[in-house]
């Protein structure tokens, strides 16, 4: 979906008079190279050699310094995971600045650090925590669709680092900017690069339209068999999505007491099991706090939060989600930053973040991960209803200076659903182009 503003600024007249053009983001399509150009891998941490070696295996040229003047790179990966003193942060500047200068459009900066939560030495924690401020600031300076993200790894988190670095380098993360992802030392097997979800059964709620329909499409493209869930009133649109992805439709109100049980029964009886659950269904019923009525408050809490808690009980019960399964919730930056007129929505989405943090710990011993994505401004029917001026501001106030597409949210969810993402759990990945809200 292209918005009116983008259509106008991309028009021949606007181009002729020099109106700045929002960069067309390099979004993932199956078979496209991981990166557009060589990847500069620098730094002396625990992971740099491994990254250079698997990049080579994936057919990407890894270089250790900017080559002759003028040579551009598609990405730079800087490993500072063993830095223990703030003086070593100079390396970020000395190695990173020339590389960033050589970055192509839609380039990538990925910094690897050590998760400060796993450290005790004060100087070391200080040093590693500093990386976050630097990377978020680099993200705000980059232009031309380029992004900067940080991977904070535990010791021996080779598989997790690979999964996260691959995601950040690829077009799957086109609208993910200024983010921090923590990876633990979980090990994962290899998956088919083109169809990483082959053999998996995935349920997506709120799949009749918008972000949910796109999640269904992307999960199916990546090999999953999809059960598309939505309310009976959206039955026709739901059937169209289910047919499109060659999956099945389940008409269901997620607030029903038996919603979780029916999802599990449907997935088992029609497809033989359940491996991925995406809680995407959501509503807004905005009103200033002082005027908020019972109905608005309760309906938003019921759909966005209480239904998720209830469905998870059934989904995690006997015969439900397989060991090694994935739960991905859709939160919102309104749950991180708050939003005027959205106390109900902000509370429900912040609650989802709490749920993800707590539940992830409970199910870790089964190899199940629980994560959330927090979309920023995404071009959907939900955001098309926002009054024009507010909508324009929401759409532009991010480092990439444009709204995201439903596909951007779907790609991040599909990554979190992969078997290879077992080292990422209890986290929230914002898909917001580094929105200034809650930054
Ligand atoms: P949307 O309104 O276009 O689609 C939501 C879908 O959920 C609809 O098909 C609807 O029928 C379904 N749904 C609503 N209540 C349901 C219920 N009780 N049972 C089953 N299905 C139900 O919204 P969207 O923009 O695609 O948003 C999807 C998710 O992303 C929501 O959780 C929303 O809060 C979140 N989100 C969206 C944005 C954005 O910019 N669009 C930003 C942040 C978060």
- CATH code, residues 33-183: 3.40.50.720
From first to last of its 439 residues, what are the pLDDT tens digits of the chain?
Answer: 555 556 656 666 555 555 556 899 999 999 999 999 999 999 989 999 999 999 999 999 999 887 665 689 999 999 999 999 999 999 999 999 999 999 999 999 999 999 999 999 999 999 999 999 999 999 999 999 999 999 999 999 999 999 999 999 999 999 999 999 999 999 887 778 899 999 999 999 999 999 999 999 999 999 999 999 999 999 999 999 999 999 999 999 999 999 999 999 999 999 999 999 999 999 999 999 999 999 999 999 999 999 999 999 999 999 999 999 999 999 999 999 999 999 999 999 999 999 999 999 999 999 999 999 999 999 988 788 888 888 888 889 999 999 999 999 999 999 999 999 999 999 999 999 999 887 6
Residue 254 CB–ligand 1 contact under 6 Å:
yes
Active site residue 28: no
| pLDDT of 388 | 86
- Which tokens sit at 92? 């970020």
Point out the ligand 1 atom lying closest to the alpha carbon of residue 259. 19
Side by side, the strands of the sheet bearing 39-42 are 62-63, 39-42, 73-79, 103-114, 147-153, 180-183
Q: For a pocket test of ligand 1, which of 211, 286, 308 has the largest count of ligand atoms closer than 8 A to its C-beta?
A: 211
Residue 382 CB–ligand 1 contact under 6 Å:
yes
Half-sphere exposure at residue 100, Cβ-oriented, CA atoms within 13 angstroms: 22
Which residue has the least CA distance to atom 40 on ligand 1? Answer: 378
- Which tokens sit at 175? 């609208």
Q: For a pocket test of ligand 1, which of 1, 175, 206, 310 has the largest count of ligand atoms closer than 8 A to its C-beta?
A: 206
| Residues 229, 236: Cα–Cα separation, whole Å | 12
Residue 375 CB–ligand 1 contact under 6 Å:
yes
Candidates 95, 231, 166; CA nearest to 412 is: 166
- Give the E-state strand segments of 201-311 in sequence order: 201-205, 225-230, 248-251, 276-279
Which residue has the least CA distance to atom 41 on ligand 1? Answer: 378
Helix axes 259-271, 307-315, angle to 10 degrees: 40
Write the CB contacts of 391 (distance below 8 Å, at least 6 apart in sequence).
383, 384
Write the CB contacts of 24 (distance below 8 Å, at least 6 apart in sequence).
145
| pLDDT of 277 | 98
Segments of the chain assigned to CATH 3.40.50.720: 33-183, 201-431
Which residue has the least CA distance to atom 27 on ligand 1? Answer: 211
> How many other C-beta atoms lie within 10 A of the C-beta of residue 29?
8
Catalytic residue among 345, 352, 419, 435: 345
**How many angstroms separate the alpha carbon of residue 163 from the centre of ligand 1?**
28
Q: Are the C-beta atoms of 379 and 408 separated by less than 8 Å?
A: no
| Residues 43, 163: Cα–Cα separation, whole Å | 19
Residue 346 CB–ligand 1 contact under 6 Å:
no
What is the DSSP secondary-structure string of 135-158? HHHHHHH--TT-EEEEEEE-TT-H
**How many angstroms separate the alpha carbon of residue 256 from the centre of ligand 1?**
17
Residue 139 CB–ligand 1 contact under 6 Å:
no
| Domain 201-431 in CATH 3.30.2090.10 | no
Helix axes 210-221, 235-244, angle to 10 degrees: 20
Residue 364 CB–ligand 1 contact under 6 Å:
no
Radius of gyration (C-alpha) of the chain in whole angstroms: 21
- Which tokens sit at 388? 């024009």
Rounded to whole angstroms, the maximal C-alpha distance in the chain is: 66
| pLDDT of 111 | 98
| Phi, psi dihedral angles at 225 (to 5 degrees) | -90, 125
| Length of the chain, in residues | 439
Q: 257: left (phi > 0), else alpha (psi -120 to 50), else beta?
A: alpha
DSSP lists the bridge partners of residue 228 as 204, 249
Write the CB contacts of 217 (distance below 8 Å, at least 6 apart in sequence).
241, 244, 245, 410
Which residue has the least CA distance to atom 39 on ligand 1? Answer: 378
């Amino acid at each position: 979906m292209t918005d009116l503003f983008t259509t106008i600024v991309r028009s021949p007249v606007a181009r002729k008079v020099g109106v700045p053009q929002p960069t067309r983001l390099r979004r993932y399509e199956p078979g496209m190279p991981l990166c557009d150009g060589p990847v500069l891998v620098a730094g002396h941490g625990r992971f740099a050699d491994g990254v250079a070696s698997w990049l080579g295996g994936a057919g990407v040229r890894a270089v250790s310094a900017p080559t002759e003047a003028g040579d551009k790179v598609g990405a730079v990966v800087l490993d500072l995971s063993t830095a223990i003193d703030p003086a070593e942060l100079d390396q970020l500047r000395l190695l990173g600045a020339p590389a960033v200068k050589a970055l192509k459009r839609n380039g990538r900066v990925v910094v690897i650090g050590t998760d400060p939560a796993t450290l005790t030495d004060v100087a070391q924690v200080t040093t590693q925590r500093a990386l976050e401020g630097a990377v978020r600031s680099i993200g705000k300076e980059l232009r031309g669709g380029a992004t900067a993200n940080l991977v904070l790894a535990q010791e021996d988190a080779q598989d997790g680092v690979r999964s996260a670095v691959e995601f950040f380098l690829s077009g799957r993360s086109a609208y993910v900017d200024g983010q921090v992802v923590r990876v633990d030392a979980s090990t994962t097997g290899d998956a088919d690069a083109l169809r990483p979800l082959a053999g998996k059964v995935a349920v997506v709620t709120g799949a009749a339209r918008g972000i949910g329909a796109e999640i269904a499409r992307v999960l199916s493209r990546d090999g999953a068999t999809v059960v598309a869930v939505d309310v009976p009133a959206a039955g026709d649109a739901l059937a169209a999505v289910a047919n499109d992805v060659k999956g099945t439709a389940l008409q269901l109100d997620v607030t029903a007491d038996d919603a979780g049980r029916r999802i599990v029964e449907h997935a088992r009886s029609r497809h033989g099991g359940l491996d991925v659950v995406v809680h995407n269904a959501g509503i807004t019923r905005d009103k200033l706090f002082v005027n908020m009525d019972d109905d608005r408050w309760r309906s938003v809490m019921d759909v966005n939060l209480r239904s998720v808690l209830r469905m998870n009980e059934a989904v995690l019960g006997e015969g439900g989600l397989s060991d090694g399964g994935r739960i991905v919730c859709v939160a919102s930056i309104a749950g991180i930053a708050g939003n005027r007129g959205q106390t109900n929505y902000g509370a429900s989405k912040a609650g989802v973040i709490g749920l993800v943090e707590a539940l992830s710990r409970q199910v870790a011993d089964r190899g199940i991960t629980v994560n959330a994505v927090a979309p920023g401004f995404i071009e959907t029917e939900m955001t098309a209803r926002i009054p024009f001026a507010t909508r324009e501001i929401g759409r532009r106030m991010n480092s990439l200076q444009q709204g995201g597409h439903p596909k951007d949210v779907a790609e991040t969810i599909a990554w979190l659903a992969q078997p290879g993402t077992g080292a990422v759990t209890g986290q929230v990945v914002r898909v917001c182009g580094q929105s200034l809200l809650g930054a």
